[in-house]
Structure 1
Amino acid sequence: MAKLVTIFGGSGFLGRYIARRLAKDGWRVRVAVRRVEQAGFVRMYGHTGQVMPWACNIRDDDSVRAALRGADAAVTCVGTFDRKGRNSFQAIHVEAAGRIARTCLEEGVRRLVHVSALGANPEGGSDYARSKAEGEAAVLAAMPHAVILRPSILFGPEDAFFNRFAGMPGPVLPILGASTHFQPVWVDDVAAAAAMGASGRAAPGTYELGGPEVLTFRELMEKMLHVTRRRKLVLGLPFWLGNLMGGAFDAGRTLSGGLVPAPVTRDQVASLRTDNVVSPGARGFESLGITPTALDAVLPDYLWRFRPSGQYAALKESARNLRS
């Protein structure tokens, strides 16, 4: 019988790519999610019965144990941007990560791949970075041979980064941390690394995963605007203003009981003060034999819908060249 892998958060942005890759490699895939009724689409990633959504609450010991029972490998790619509440940094990044690792050990799950984040640091400038580092420590305390992946900002058709900014209306594009450097990474490249870890083709340890380009936030937005054929002023906002905005949005979210979303939080503002790039000498894609994909090879494939002429932009540009 084919081996079984449990993917926590397997219906999310990164998780669905990992599920698709492992199914293609012949694994039976158990996709552990909170809302199983919203994860039915993962069944299409494999043959009938090969990929199955599985209801799981990662804050509950018994629920995690049931999701891991009989599995040969596990992947955790669950994250949150909530600093407080039931699904806080502490609950999801630290406690849940440790719970999954300990249960893997108890249930005899041989391999564990834990997706953390580039910039995870116990002394980081944001609660997010510190919680990610604490989560890694909790995982390694139970499973010292686990594979830890630290990806930079993920990009791809379902991303919440380029899609978000490309869809912002108006002639001005305001951003915080305009001079902060990032190393965006193609989501399927990270999925390939996770699949290698689950199958034992990646040595245990920590891998920092970034794309081939290091660009400032401003340069990333300019590249996005070039792809979408839009002309906007990229306006860099000062951090003091970002702190005021984040504080106001945090308060609004708290007072509304979480019903009002926060476009930016104070913790995210703190994160933007630090470059999000691969550390010198860190193990990365080259150690896995993976060549990371460039932004220009992917962005046009899904940002075309934000162009003034949408799918017909290239046709119009071609016709314009013929007339000239």
Structure 2
Amino acid sequence: MLATASHCVRLPRLLRSQQKRALTDLVVTPSHKPIVRYGPPGRSAVTGHVVTVFGCTSFLGRYLVAKLAKMGTQVIIPYREEDAKRHLKVTGDLGQIVSMEWDLRREDQIEECVRHSDIVYNLVGRDYETKNFDYDAVHAEGAARIAEVAARAGVPRFVQVSHLNAAEDSPSKFYRSKARGEELVRDAFPSATIVRPGPMYGYEDKFLNNMAVWPIWWKLNHAATKVRPVHVFDVAQALANLHTVPSLPGTFNLPGPSTLTVDYLLRMVASVTYRPPSRAPVLPKAVALQFARAAQAVWWPALSPDEVVRRYIDDAELPGDWDKFGVVPEEIEEHAITYLRRYRSADNFTRPVVLPESRGPEVWVSQS
């Protein structure tokens, strides 16, 4: 009983010592909103930041929300479908994940989602067009609407996630809409941070998993297209680190550390999964476009015509800005087994990884 009583006496003192704050725990944002952090490090801490992540249910969004919540940040997660955001609730401690229903065309709902935030991330994007939302409606007009509402609400920081290949003169409508969205966001929010990641890979990606299941669609252009894949964890960490930077206006590129051909990646997938390389024929571009247009008739298109066009576009050879975010990107070979082991047969499941012998100068070009 004495030990228990002594423990009960010391516990409040310990809690009080953890709640002590110094002047370094106080941050005043450009909008004059005070941010006070306290508590032990980890998901039970409180960074004082309130962050809104539009597109939180996307591939990148789920990892960004998890990293922000683990830091102790309160995250507002706007959602369209109730079931689409359920997995995000457990990424943070009690009260850290706040879900709010929204619509991209409703400015009043957008304002409700951002009015208490000091950082707003826009990750909203679509790989294919629908009857209600085309590329411009999502990537350009939608992004501009969110930026305008955030500016009116006095949000001090805005982060727009674009794409490495965003260009106004691109043959891809997807890339053109991304470039137009960047321009509209800069007009609405001049101090916005625009981030351009390369094609991302991870557990739920449409990159490595797609190559393992549908290699025929990646053999377009004779698999000679050059890509700069980047780990989704690295991009999410770079975005999460922005909340520690008072301001970072401008456009920043986050490509993978190396430029690889699709042919090399297909051979890597075959080596890791112990499956023979695909013998599917190389479809001409016109035939692939016809297949993609026919796929639009089903309720969930397998491949959009614009995605066929993107298969023929090399990733832009732009220098990376990873040092601005305090992240060092990792090579795709270091993580391929993690996401591709599921495609092995039972006999090969525990076999060691055997990658292609060499990338070769004709296969890859290092960024450095």
Match of 1:14 among 41, 54, 60: 60
C-alpha contact 1:249 1:265 (8 A) present in aligned 2: yes
Measure, in 1, the Cα distance between the counterparts of 2:267 and 2:183.
37
Residue of structure 2 in register with 1:246 after alignment: 289
When residues 228 and 283 of structure 1 are mapped into structure 2, their CA distance, relative to the original with a 3 A threshold, is closer
**d(CA) in 2 for partners of 1:102, 1:243:** 41
Alignment partner of 1:161 is 2:161: no
Greater Cα offset, 53-62 or 24-33:
53-62
What whole-Å deviation, never above 9, does each CA across 1:125-175 have from its counterpart, x for those lacking one? 110110000001111111111111111110011111111221349xx7862
Distance 1:193 1:202, change over 3 A: farther
CA positional deviation for 1:61? 1.3
Distance 1:310 1:79, change over 3 A: farther
Q: Tell me the equivalent position of 1:233.
A: 278
Alignment CA distance shift 1:234-1:60 (3 Å) = farther
Q: Sort the Cα spacing of 1:310 and 1:74 in 2 relative to 1 into closer, same or farther, 3 A.
A: farther
Deviates more, 1:78-87 or 1:91-100: 78-87
> What is the Cα deviation at residue 266 of structure 1?
2.5
Counterpart residue number, 1:267:
306
User: Residue 278 and residue 288 in structure 1: after superposition, are their counterparts in 2 closer, same or farther (change >3 A)?
Assistant: farther
Measured in 2, the distance between the counterparts of 1:134 and 1:17 equals 26
Map of 1:176 onto structure 2: 220
- Structure-1 separation of matches of 2:149 and 2:331: 38
Aligned mate of 1:287, from 317, 324, 335: 324
> AA paired with 1:227?
V
Question: What is the alpha-carbon root mean square deviation over aligned residues?
Answer: 2.3
Q: Does 1:78 align with 2:115?
A: no
**Which of 261, 277, 296 is the matching residue for 1:216?**
261
Letter in 2 for 1:118: L
Q: Distance in 2 between matches of 1:156 and 1:65?
A: 32
Aligned CA distance change for structure 1 residues 310 and 207 (closer, same or farther; 3 Å): farther
Please, which moves more after superposition, 214-223 or 229-238?
Answer: 229-238
Do residues 304 (structure 1) and 341 (structure 2) align? yes
Per the alignment, in what secondary structure is the counterpart of residue 71 of structure 1?
coil
Tell me, in whole angstroms, the C-alpha distance in 1 between the residues paired with 2:110 and 2:149: 7
After superposition, the C-alpha distances for 1:243-287 in whole angstroms (9 at most, x for unaligned) are: 33323432452xx4x51x3333321222222211441xx452133
- Residue 101 of structure 2 is matched in structure 1 by 55
Q: CA deviation at 1:54?
A: 2.0
Structure 1: gaps of 5 or more residues: 318-324
The residue number in structure 2 matching 1:33 is 79
In 2, Cα distance between equivalents of 1:217 and 1:86: 33
Contact 1:112 1:197 (8 Å CA) reproduced: no
Instruction: Kindly report structure 1 stretches of 4+ aligned residues shifted beyond 3 Å.
Output: 233-236
| Contact 1:174 1:235 (8 Å CA) reproduced | no
Alpha-carbon shift at residue 203 of structure 1 (Å): 2.2
User: How has the CA–CA distance of structure 1 residues 311 and 74 changed in structure 2, closer, same or farther, with 3 Å as cutoff?
Assistant: farther
Greater Cα offset, 148-157 or 268-277? 268-277
Over 3 Å counting, the alpha-carbon distance change for 1:11 and 1:252 in structure 2 is: closer
The 1:223–1:277 alpha-carbon spacing in structure 2 relative to 1, beyond 3 Å, is farther
> For the residues of structure 1 that align with 2:200 and 2:149, how far apart are their CA atoms?
28
Equivalent position amino acid for 1:247 in 2: Q
Tell me the percent identity.
Answer: 30
* TM-score, scaled relative to structure 1: 0.87
CA distance in 2, matches of 1:175, 1:89: 25
Give distance in 2, aligned partners of 1:196 and 1:234.
Answer: 44
Report the secondary structure of 2:219's partner residue. Answer: strand
Tell me how far 1:180 sits from its aligned partner: 0.8
Query: Is the 8 Å Cα contact of residues 52 and 75 (structure 2) preserved in structure 1?
Result: yes
Say which structure, 1 or 2, has more relative contact order (CA 8 Å, 6+ apart): 1
The aligned residue for residue 144 of structure 2 is: 98
Q: Is the 8 A contact 2:211 2:218 kept in 1?
A: no
Whether the 8 Å contact between 2:168 and 2:180 is mirrored in structure 1 is: yes
Aligned residues, how many?
307
Change (3 A) 1:153 1:310: farther
DSSP 3-state at the match of 2:72: coil
Q: Provide the rounded CA distance (Å) in 2 between the counterparts of 1:46 and 1:90.
A: 33
Output the TM-score relative to the length of structure 2: 0.77
Deviations 1:300-320 (A, max 9, x none): 1121110112784238x9xxx
Q: CA deviation at 1:197?
A: 2.7
